[in-house]
Amino acid sequence: MTSRRWIPVLVLLALVALPGVAHACPVCFDPRDQNRAAFVTTALALTFLPLGMVGGVGMWLRKRLHRLDDEADQGTSAPPDAE
């Protein structure tokens, strides 16, 4: 095997042998409840804020399209002016 083939094997062995190193951030596993609650609250806010923004834009577009359809229906259903 070439040295490049050993790299994934060594990385896998390191992750299996040292699981504490694989943790992304120490706040997730903080024993203090206040820090953990703050982290979870912030993660939830950052998750739902963009979803709410996209949903708000979608609702606005839907309302705008319905309003334009209503205006178009009113314009075509009106009797033409008699000359």
Q: What is the DSSP string of 19-69?
A: GGGG-S-GGGG-S-HHHHHHHHHHHHHHHHHHHHHHHHHHHHHHHHHHHHH
Q: Which long-range contacts (CB under 8 A, 24 or more apart) does 6-11 make?
A: none
Distance from C-alpha of 45 to C-alpha of 37, rounded to nearest angstrom: 12
- pTM above threshold 0.85: no
pLDDT digits (tens, 9 = 90+) for 10-37: 888 877 777 665 556 666 666 788 887 8
Token pair 């040295």 is found at 3
